[in-house]
Structure formats: C-alpha cells, structure tokens
Amino acid sequence: MSTTRRAAVVGVYTTEQGKRLGRTKVSLELEAIKGALADAGLAHTDVDGLSPLLAEPWSKTHMYWAEQLGERPITYIGTGQGEGAVAKAAAAISAGTCNVALAWVANAGGGNAPGSKAVPTAAPRLPDFHWEIQGAYMTPLYALWAQRYMHEFGASSEDLAQVAVIHRDHAVLNPDSVMGRKGPVTIEDVVNSRMVADPLHLLDCSIENDGGYALVLAAEDIAKDCRKTPVWVLGGAEATATDVYQTFNNPWFPEEGKSVRRCTDMAFDIAGVSRSEIDVANLYDCFTITMLRNLEEMGFCKIGEGAEYVREGHTRLGGSMPCNTDGGLLSNSHNGNPSGMNVIEVVRQLRGECGERQVADARIGLALGQGGSVHGLASTVVLAHD
Amino acid sequence: MTAPYLKPLPQISEENRPFWDGLSAREFRGPRCRSCGQFGWVPYPACRNCFSTDIEWVPLSGRGVIYSYSIVHRGPAAFAGDVPYVVVMVELDEQPQPMIVLGQLDDCPLDQVRVGLPVSVTFHDIPGEDVTLYRFSPSAPVGSTGGG
Ligand SMILES: [Zn+2]
C-alpha cells in the first residue's frame, strides 16, 4: 500500500483523580474507556487495537479486554508509556493493521511511596542487586541523581523548587487537579517542606493518587466523522537505553543524551516540526529535577541550563512554551502510569477545552513520558490540529 | 536471640553466587570479561561491551569515592526506624570503566557526607540468614566539624 493514512486522537477521558477514591481498578478502567469512546462518538465494537499502559506479561491483559469488548479479533496488541503507545498505535493505524485503538490505565491503591508497603514478617528476597536491599526506593534514586546534578552544575534547591511553584500555579487553574484546591506554593514553601530524601523535599516529589484515563485513536476517514476536532499524531517515538535504577553510568549527564534525547529527536524528525514551533507541552515531571533535565535533554536548552530556562519564564502560562498546564505529576495527578495524562492535556489544549489555563491559539503540542532519570525509558509524541 | 532481619535480601542464584560467596569470605568481587577485559557493574550474564559470556569474578579493592549520595529521611517499611540514613553511589577505584555501586554509608556524620569522599566496603553477616551484605564506611575516620 502506498497511501499513508493519518491517525488522530479522537477521544479522551479522565476519571476523578484523588488520594483514595474507594473504587476498584476495573471500575475506573471501564469508566475511562466508556468516557473516551463517548467523547469520540464511537462504540466499543469499533475498537480493534488495544494498548493497556500497564500490561501483564504474555498479552493476558489484551486477551481479557478483547473478551470484554465483545470477543472480536483485536489486530493491534500494544503497550508502553502514553506517548509511545499513541505513537505506535498511530503507526499501526497508518500501516492499516487497525482502525480504532484504545490506550488506558487506572490505579486504585497502588504506589511507589514508602508508606504504601507494610513491614513484612520475614525478609523478602529480591532479584540480586535490587536497590531496595540498600534502602533505596524511587525518591532516593532521583535524589542521588539530583545531588550529582547539583554538584556538577551548581544548581540550588531553589532552582528545583521553582518547577513545583509553576506547576502548582497551573494546577490552581485546573479544577480537576488533585493539588490545585490547596492553592499556590512559594519557593520558600517548597524548600521548607519536609525533607524526604536530601536534596528532594516533599514538594519536589510528585503526588500519588487513584484515578484512570483513556485515549482513543482513529484512522483519518473515521476521525473526520467523530464528535470533536481530530488531533493529529504528527510523529512520535520511544527509546530505552539502560536499566538505570540498577546500573549507574559515569558520566551521568552525557552531552549526547540517552533515551529522552533519542526519541525526541526522532519524534521531531518524523513530525517535520522544529522545537520553536511547539505551542504547548506536557513533560513527565515525577520530581522537580526531572523537569529541568527533560528540558535540557529534549534540546530546549543546553545541559546545565534547565534552571535558567525555567527562570526565564518559558514554561509558565504566558511563556514561550507553556508546560504542564494541568499541573503535571507534581500537582495534577500521578495515577500508576500518568504518562498518558500528558497526552490528554495536550489534546485538550489543542482542542481549546482548557478554560482558565487555555494557551491561546495552541496548534502544535508536545508530550513526553519517561522513567529512569531520562536515560532509562522515554517516549515523545508531537500532536497538532488542522 | 536477635530480632529477625526484615529488610529485603538478595535471591541467590547460580549466576550471582560467586559475588555473595565472596562477601561471606570478606572479598568484594566484580565480574570481568575474559574476552575484552572490561568490568561491568551491576553484573550481567554477558559482557555489555563485546557480548561475550566468558566472564570471571575477580577480587576488587572495595575502595572508591562517593559519586553521589542522599540522606534519606523517610524510609520504606522495614527501614523506617533507621532514618536518617545515607544511601551512596560509590565509584570504585578500578578503572578505566567506572563501576558505580549503590549502598549505604555508616560511620560518617551527616554534615561530612560529600561527593568525592573516599570510602571502603565493610561486610555484614545477616543473623539467621545465609547472606552477607556489604556497606560502606569512610576510608579514614571523619569527625564532625561541629561548626568549629
Ligand atoms: Zn567483553
């Protein structure tokens, strides 16, 4: 086949996001899937591609949901972070292997925070060099990364804190965010909040909550008849380079970058878009340090200059490239695999649905999902409306 | 009779047994590729440089310098009673390929923990378990300046 048909995000939905919703995971998944299909104006029987964003091995999750959706052949079996899942589903649609694809996830009670696991009654045995043997967990690992970054580039706690301040300001304008109702925070609030793992304070860390979401993608011919303006997938890519939580590399901040750099360069190449054309972006901000490193690694500023770039106001609403307008993982929601929330916010911005936090005339948007300190795992997608 | 150890311990397999046996013999061993000579930490079943599976465990100095650190104030489950404790990444002396080892640091005042501090491996038999763990301590005694 020589004609490449385009693919668009045609439906998005987020359930209520909150600390403990008292809901089951599957009820959140069903609400999200039904909601995203309704947003698109499509039926569950239209779906022929599945990308659960947290999947069990050996496609068990896909088989379960194929059954649930009517025991029909599902011809695209995907997974990944939200951005990678959208990019791959779009590629499958363009290749003709499916027409309508779902990507979704929900969290009900799980988490990474240290309080989320009880003390065992016997010493658990973990795969040989697991970091938990050393008393580390996600926050200390990112703290180690932040500490080395501050050592090499002279960044301060205040440099990191400004990210939390901006993202909270955005969350305040997002009535659906978990933290917006708590009001804005100052740099002093962040650096005076309880230390979790030095140098990361409580407000340098993303929140952890329940909630679900779903996205629906469709081929061009279907997208044109959907309820909302199609948001086209211009290009996207994913990359994994190192098992960074196990294997630490020196230098930890190589000029050439690793996963985030690679998939971002590829996404821009495929999309045929330059960095200066991005009107709005939602980047994976699991910790304040992550946002600074994302901006550097994605090529919006040089390595070591992330804090200066943020200080110049580019990422604020009203700046040259407003970022994390929903409040991000820091202040909107972190629900198991929140990467797809970044795609959803960009879709809503491009549709003009964002109310007080709307970026005027947003036409081209960017979303980034990542894990493993920008080296381990990443995916980027560039989206646009006509 | 001491309280049972409730923190996570390693699953010992045929692949990693030489390392844990080494700790119990008071030796910190690392995997080196016989084909290209490269060290690799953490151990992988094949060399990450040349993909050879001809790998030997060799005794290492157990000495290095702190590459990064975090003073942890909120610990998971079984570590909650230890706070504040210090998690370190130690770049071992063996070069040219850097090996950075994650561990905990003892015997160092919190205000003296810094990148570049020389440290050495210490060995800790776990009571009631068939495992010896490693930790790190400063290579030379470090006193608190106490603001003096
Ligand atoms: Zn080799």
Res B83: pLDDT: 97
Same domain, B35 and B66: no
Residue range A14-29, pLDDT digits in tens: 999 999 999 999 999 9
For A26-50, give one letter per residue: b (16+ CB within 10 A) or e: eebbbbbbebbbebbebeeebbbbb
Same domain, B49 and B107: no
For A52-72, give one letter per residue: b (16+ CB within 10 A) or e: bbebeeeeebbeebbeebeee
**Cα-trace Rg, chain B:** 17
**A72: its two tokens:** 């029909």
Q: Which residue has the tokens 């998939």?
A: A263
Interchain contact, B69 vs A147, CB within 8 Å: yes
| Total structural domains within chain A | 1
Same domain, B67 and B115: yes
Which residue would you say has higher pLDDT here, B145 or A19? Answer: A19
The answer to whether A256 contacts chain B (CB < 8 Å) is: no
Residue A14 lies in a domain: yes
Q: Which of A20, A105, A22, A90 is nearest to A56 (CA)?
A: A105
In DSSP notation, A307-336 reads: HHHHHTTTTSTTSSS-B-TT-HHHHT---S
Range of the domain at B56: 14-60
Interchain contact, A119 vs B5, CB within 8 Å: no
Chain A: give the shortest CA distance to residue B73, in Å.
5
The mean of the pLDDT values for chain B is: 93
Range of the domain at A31: 7-107
Interchain contact, A139 vs B91, CB within 8 Å: no
Res B146: pLDDT: 53
Distance CA A336, CA A101 (A): 21
Q: What is the pTM of this model?
A: 0.95
Number of alpha carbons in the 13 Å side-chain half-sphere of residue B137:
10
- Look at residues B60, B80, B115 and tell me which one is the last residue of a structural domain: B60
pLDDT confidence of B148, banded at 50, 70, 90?
very low
Tell me whether residue B14 is exposed, middle or buried, using C-beta atoms within 10 angstroms of its C-beta: 0 to 12, 13 to 18, 19 or more. Answer: exposed
Res A21: pLDDT: 93
**B110: its two tokens:** 């919190």
Interchain contact, B115 vs A249, CB within 8 Å: no
Q: Is the pLDDT of residue B147 over 60?
A: no
Distance CA A287, CA A354 (A): 24
Residue B19 lies in a domain: yes
Residue B148 lies in a domain: no
Q: Would you call the peptide bond into B42 cis, given omega within 30 degrees of 0 as the criterion? A: yes
For chain B, give percent helix, strand, coil, nearest 5.
10, 35, 55
Chain A: give the shortest CA distance to residue B148, in Å.
24
Interchain contact, B98 vs A121, CB within 8 Å: no
Which residue would you say has higher pLDDT here, B75 or B143? Answer: B75
A228: left (phi over 0), alpha (psi -120 to 50) or beta: beta
Chain B: give the shortest CA distance to residue A250, in Å.
6
Same domain, B54 and B97: no
Q: Residue B89 is part of a domain; what is its CATH number?
A: 2.40.50
Interchain contact, A123 vs B129, CB within 8 Å: yes
The answer to whether A154 contacts chain B (CB < 8 Å) is: no
The answer to whether B11 contacts chain A (CB < 8 Å) is: yes
Residue B25 lies in a domain: yes
Nearest to B8 among A126, A145, A148 (CB): A126
Tell me whether residue A249 is exposed, middle or buried, using C-beta atoms within 10 angstroms of its C-beta: 0 to 12, 13 to 18, 19 or more. Answer: middle
Nearest to B87 among A144, A246, A252 (CB): A144
Distances from the Cα of B52 to the Cα of B13, B14, B43, B96, angstroms: 20, 18, 13, 19
User: Which residues of chain A register pLDDT less than 50?
Assistant: 1-2
In DSSP notation, A59-126 reads: GHHHHHHHHHTTS----EE--SSHHHHHHHHHHHHHHTS-SEEEEEEEESS---SGGGSPPPSS--EE
Listed by number, the residues of chain B in 76-135 with a beta carbon closer than 8 Å to a beta carbon of chain A are 76-80, 82, 85, 87, 89, 91, 98, 100, 102-104, 115, 126, 129, 133
**B98: its two tokens:** 């850097």
Distance CA A214, CA A52 (A): 9
**A330: its two tokens:** 């820091």
- Look at residues B27, B60, B93 and tell me which one is the last residue of a structural domain: B60
Which chain A residue's Cα is nearest to B128?
A: A123
For chain A, give percent helix, strand, coil, nearest 5.
40, 20, 40
Sign of CA dihedral A17, A161, A242, A346: positive
Nearest to B98 among A125, A198, A250 (CB): A250
Residue B21 lies in a domain: yes
What's the CA-to-centroid distance between B37 and ligand 1, angstroms? 6
